[in-house]
């Protein structure tokens, strides 16, 4: 039979072990919850950036689609010669002449900052510049490409717009990514075709 002192000592030791187990469980749960909050915060940030890049990509796609790509309409409603916008510069705001319009773009315009095929925007989505490197205040980057549809090169163009964040581009550069770009979490990438019709 245990003495009163031995029983008290045993119960005190058992309480200490329970406390250690409780602290360990609480620590593990706290770490799990903290990780969950971090994942949720990142997902929320990516969703917000993705929404913004979607709006910016649609805006640029509409600008490209608005450029002339059709046929002259002759008297009597007949179609004449093809007419195409080959002078508008959409990389500046407002757009001006002196650009490539819907001429086929050089390769790699979606992978890197190629003049006439890139513009930069601030956190509000306001245009702040163009050129080979982003100006101060850049948050978003838009790039676009104009290609001819291989089986109908004279009548159909393929238009692509990529909107991304400067932060993602820097992470991509830090990771040493090269070659054709893959889609990143906050990217918005649009593709459509435009076929000639009477204008």
**Residue in this structure with the two tokens 């315009």, named with its chain if needed:** 109
CB 128 within 8 A of CB 135: yes
Rounded Cα distance between 8 and 10, Å, is: 5
What are the pLDDT tens digits along the chain (199 aa)?
Answer: 555 555 555 555 557 777 778 888 888 877 877 777 666 666 666 667 788 999 999 999 999 999 999 998 888 878 889 999 999 999 999 999 999 999 999 999 999 999 999 999 999 999 999 999 999 999 999 999 999 999 988 999 999 999 999 998 988 888 776 666 777 788 999 999 999 876 5
pLDDT score for 171: 84
CA 38 to chain centre: 21
Rounded Cα distance between 6 and 14, Å, is: 12
> Among 102, 185, 189, which residue's Cα sits nearest to residue 148?
102
pLDDT score for 12: 52
Q: What is the dihedral of CA 177, 180, 185, 186, to 10 degrees?
A: 110
**Ramachandran assignment for 74, one of left (phi > 0), alpha (psi -120 to 50 degrees), beta (any other):** beta
């Amino acid at each position: 039979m245990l003495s009163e002192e031995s029983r008290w000592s045993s119960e005190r030791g058992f309480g200490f072990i329970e406390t250690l187990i409780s602290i360990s469980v609480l620590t593990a749960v706290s770490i799990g919850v903290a990780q969950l909050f971090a994942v949720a915060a990142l997902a929320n940030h990516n969703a917000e950036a993705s929404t913004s890049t979607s709006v910016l990509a649609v805006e640029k796609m509409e600008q490209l689609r608005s450029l002339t790509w059709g046929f002259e309409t002759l008297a009597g409603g007949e179609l004449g010669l093809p007419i195409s916008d080959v002078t508008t510069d959409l990389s500046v705001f407002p757009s001006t002449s002196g650009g490539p319009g819907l001429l086929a773009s050089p390769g790699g315009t979606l992978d890197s900052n190629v003049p006439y095929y890139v513009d930069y925007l601030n956190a509000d989505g306001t245009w702040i510049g163009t050129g080979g490197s982003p100006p101060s205040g850049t948050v978003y980057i838009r790039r676009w490409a104009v290609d001819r549809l291989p089986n109908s090169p004279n009548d159909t163009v393929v238009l692509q717009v990529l909107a991304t964040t400067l932060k993602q581009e820097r992470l991509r550069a830090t990771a040493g990514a090269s070659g054709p770009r893959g889609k990143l979490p906050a990217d918005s990438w649009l593709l459509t075709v435009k076929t000639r019709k009477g204008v």
